Structure 1
Amino acid sequence: MRNLVKVVGVIVLFFGVLNATEFKVDKSHSNVGFSVKHMMISNVKGKFNTYDSKIDFDAKTKKFYALSATIKTNSVDTANEKRDNHLRSADFFYASKFPDMKFVMKSFKLEDDNEGIMIGDLTIRGVTKEVKLEVELNGVIKDFRGETRLGFTLEGEINRKDFGLKWNKALELGGVVVGEKVEIEVEVEAIKK
């Protein structure tokens, strides 16, 4: 009986994967962003301009079967060239030694009709940690060209020091220049291949 349950489970998983469709990110309508405290009083927002990803999604079941991304660390952009160069340096991303950040989904669970939790491995500066991302499914539509589009948002929080991004300076009246917690904010619009 136990073997029968395993076989049925494998069959269900196999047919679910067959229903999954590969989507390609529409970079002109997507954003890989982050936000971090500056001097404890404001938030600096930034993004990465160069990235690639693989998305396998089943629109009927609203389930992700695969999601992976490679992000070029030298493409960091906070709209301030001096700060961006510092972020590319060995104090932060060390882009010359670690040109890629990577995310690989391990699991996805739909919590209600349009929200779920994605667990995956995030690698920054050669350090891999498991992260939890909240997923909001914004919808699947056919556009005016007849292309199927998927929209979703990923949000989460990491501690930058866990990944070796440890640079900081103390402020004279207390606090530090750069907060430890980094908010991940990713907006994706993807087109069915």
Structure 2
Amino acid sequence: MKSFSQANQSAKEYKLDTSHSSVEFSIKHMMISTVKGNFRNFESQISFESISKIFNSLKASVDASSIDTGNDARDNHLRSADFFEVETYPNIDFVMSSYDDSSKTMSGELTIKGNKKPVELKATINGVIKDPEGNERVGFTLKGKINRKDFGLTWNKAMEAGGLMVGDSVDMNIEIQMVAS
């Protein structure tokens, strides 16, 4: 397992290319469909070794108020105290603690609504290239799953026919393109 404390001298700092990156999620709704959404505003600091394709460090912050599911009423409810409580907890933060190259697993701590929990994300390096201007770019995908209740997102409503309105399991899909700084 390689952690950022074991950083290699060949590691570079990268800037996030937000126009070619996304932070998306999906969750069951009424047990019969899946609602997908994303966060429009986010930033990160990344140290990466492009030759060995190893992450040395990654810190990310998401603006919780930028949630977008395509439904204004639902988005406002998600921003409220029932869910993200964005007035009190404006950011969702992730700090990588280690990266296991053999399993392509990034471990770290995710903080939502002041609740900090360990999470594991599967990492796929999509490629390292030079763009037309000669800048080195790296693309990667992170996927993971969390239980929303672990992070204080506990609101729900019982359905008349049984079951609950909102599922507990949240699938995360993060697409990142970064450019060497």
Q: TM-score, structure 1 length as denominator?
A: 0.89
SS of the equivalent of 1:19 reads coil
What is residue 148 of structure 1 aligned with on the other side? 136
Aligned length: 177
1:13 counterpart residue number = 6
Structure 2, gaps ≥5 residues long: none
DSSP 3-state at the match of 1:40 = coil
Q: Distance in 2 between matches of 1:129 and 1:139?
A: 30
Q: What amino acid maps onto 2:175 in structure 1? A: E
* Distance in 2 separating the partners of 1:20 and 1:39: 46
1:47 match: 38
Once the 2 structures are TM-superposed, how far is the Cα of residue 54 of structure 1 from its aligned partner?
Answer: 0.3
Matching residue within 54, 58, 61 for 2:52:
61
2:74 aligned partner: 83
8 Å CA contact 2:123–2:140 kept in 1: the answer is yes
Question: Quick one: percent identity of the two aligned structures?
Answer: 50
Match 2:19 to one of 10, 28, 44: 28
The answer to whether residue 125 in structure 2 is matched with residue 137 in structure 1 is yes
Contact 2:123/2:141, CA 8 A, preserved across alignment: yes
The CA distance in 2 between the partners of 1:169 and 1:48, in whole Å, is 24
RMSD (Å), alpha carbons: 1.2
Q: Distance in 2 between matches of 1:110 and 1:153?
A: 14
Deviations along 1:81-125, whole A, 9 cap, x unmatched? 0000000000000000000110000000112xxx60000000000
**Residue aligned with 1:191, SS:** strand
Which secondary structure state, in structure 1, belongs to the residue aligned with residue 150 of structure 2? helix
For 2:54 and 2:151, the matched residues in 1 are separated by 29
Determine if the alignment matches structure 1 residue 157 to structure 2 residue 148: no
What is the alpha-carbon distance in structure 2 between the residues aligned to residue 157 and residue 192 of structure 1?
A: 29
Q: Distance in 2 between matches of 1:69 and 1:182?
A: 18
User: Which residue of structure 2 lines up, in the alignment, with residue 3 of structure 1?
Assistant: none
Q: Following the alignment from structure 2 to structure 1, what is the Cα–Cα distance between the partners of residues 6 and 56?
A: 10
Displaced runs of 4 or more, over 4 A = none
* Distance in 2 (alpha carbons) for counterparts of 1:105 and 1:46: 23
The runs of 5 or more residues in structure 1 that have no matched partner are 1-11
d(CA) in 2 for partners of 1:144 and 1:133?
31
Return the letter of the residue paired with 1:154.
L
More helix by share: 1
CA-to-aligned-CA distance 1:65-89 (integer Å, 9 cap, x gap):
0001011110101111000000000
* Structure label with greater radius of gyration: 1
Residue 146 of structure 1: SS of its match in structure 2? coil
Matched position secondary structure for 2:94: strand
TM-score normalised per structure 2 = 0.95
